[in-house]
Amino acid sequence: MKGAKTKKLFLLILFAMIVATVIIDVIIFLRISRLPFVQVTILGATHSLTHWIGWGGALYIAFTSPFLPIIKRKTPRRFKAALQIHMIGNMLAVLLISVHFAHQLTRPAFSYPDLGTGVALYAATVLLVATGIILYSGKAKQYTKYMRFLHPAFAVTFYTIAIVHILQGISVI
């Protein structure tokens, strides 16, 4: 019974993080509050603060997520803790990506960005989170075999679109 209560509590924490992300995005969309437009230079590249926030979230997901299957195979006794760290960390990363995305969508018309790959990347990220939470919660037990395929497939989609998004951003393609 203890495991079920812990799982419910953990899902409640994830749900609270999703609600917080939505509230922060709504605040940005309604222009109640926004991060100030500040140029920040990192490793010789200068971009807005919100741009770097989005990068931080995407890089966290991109570099930490591949470790989960490795931990599952190499040290299975640590998998449960690693999975929870993976989920909480990635939810925080999605919060950062959401702040970036909301700021991009609310930019003035004269500096509005091309949203093509950004929208696709955000959609892939949301689908990745949704399938991960569905898998963890066990709410769709009859669809588990499909979700077990979809979650890694959305991860591959995330990586592919992220690479294209970056290459477009640096004007390679």
Query: pLDDT tens, 109-147?
Result: 777 777 788 899 999 999 999 999 988 888 777 777 777
How far apart are alpha carbons 115 and 104 in whole angstroms?
Answer: 8
Query: pLDDT tens, 40-74?
Result: 777 777 778 888 899 899 999 999 999 999 999 99
- Contact 61/125 with Cβ under 8 angstroms? yes
How much is the pTM? Answer: 0.85
For 96, counting Cβ atoms within 10 Å of its Cβ (0-12 exposed, 13-18 middle, 19+ buried), the class is buried
